[in-house]
């Protein structure tokens, strides 16, 4: 399936979950097997080009794409979870949401300094979530070699600073 076809499958839901947000619903990609396979293939091509040894994925939709690619490439999947969900020793980063703040954690022993990490998520808006995952990765001494997202929202584009790390944004809205 082409990127144009994928773009047409994403459903825009106005004013969800609160007024003023244009919510991009990725569920129709998951219920269309050809669309999901194409999405994973596009992610996997980029992530293998970066010679990644690991994927860091934030909950919850990052897990879906991260798991598909980790299986396809035979590389590690490291979950970045909300505070209190991971059972072993963690590193944590607090960051701002549009309203309030949140804390993401990863297991300290999930990555080593030799790991080459691509951070993956379904959507980049302010990039707060991706930047938190980058910070978490750096706390383990591993190297961030790429950032990959199914969707990026152009209204926030100028605010992204990824310091020349290779970036895959499959669909732009
Ligand atoms: P941000 O940290 O601002 O880049 O927000 C990214 C996270 O919030 C992603 O994990 C998305 O799942 C979710 N998100 C933010 N804005 C939207 C939106 N307009 N539609 C769907 N998901 C969104």
- Residues catalogued as catalytic: 61, 98
* Angstrom distance (rounded) from CA 57 to CA 166: 16
Residue holding tokens 């994973």? 40
Average pLDDT, stretch 22-41?
98
CATH class of the structural domain 3-172: alpha beta
Average pLDDT, stretch 26-38?
98
pTM (predicted TM-score): 0.97
**Atom nearest to 98 CA in ligand 1:** 3
The count of other CB atoms within 10 Å of the CB of residue 163 is 6
| Burial of 2: CB neighbours in 10 Å, binned 0-12, 13-18, 19+ | exposed
Q: Look up residue 6 and give its DSSP letter.
A: H
* Angstrom distance (rounded) from CA 169 to CA 167: 6
What is the 61 CA–ligand 1 centroid distance (Å)?
A: 10
Residue 57 has pLDDT above 90, yes or no: yes
Report whether 154 contacts 172 (CB < 8 A): yes
* Angstrom distance (rounded) from CA 87 to CA 107: 8
Task: pLDDT band for 100, please (50, 70, 90 cuts).
Answer: confident
* pLDDT per position as a tens digit, 112-159: 999 999 999 999 999 999 999 999 999 999 999 999 999 999 988 866
**Atom nearest to 125 CA in ligand 1:** 4
Domain coordinates in residue numbering, the chain: 3-172
Average pLDDT of the residues of the chain: 96
């Amino acid at each position: 399936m082409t990127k144009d076809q994928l773009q047409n499958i994403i459903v825009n839901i106005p004013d969800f979950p609160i007024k003023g947000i244009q919510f991009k619903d990725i569920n129709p990609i998951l219920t269309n097997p050809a669309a999901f396979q194409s999405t994973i293939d596009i992610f996997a091509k980029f992530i293998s080009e970066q010679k990644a040894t690991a994927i860091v994925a934030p909950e919850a939709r990052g897990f879906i794409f991260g798991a598909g690619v980790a299986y396809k490439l035979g590389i590690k999947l490291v979950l970045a979870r909300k505070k209190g969900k991971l059972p072993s020793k963690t590193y944590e980063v607090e960051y701002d949401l549009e309203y309030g703040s949140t804390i993401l954690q990863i297991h300290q022993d999930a990555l080593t300094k030799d790991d080459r990490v691509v951070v993956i998520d379904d959507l980049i808006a302010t990039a707060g979530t991706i930047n938190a995952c980058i910070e978490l990765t750096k706390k383990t001494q591993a190297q961030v070699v790429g950032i990959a997202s199914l969707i990026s929202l152009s209204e926030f584009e100028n605010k992204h600073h990824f310091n020349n790390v290779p970036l895959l944004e499959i669909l732009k809205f």
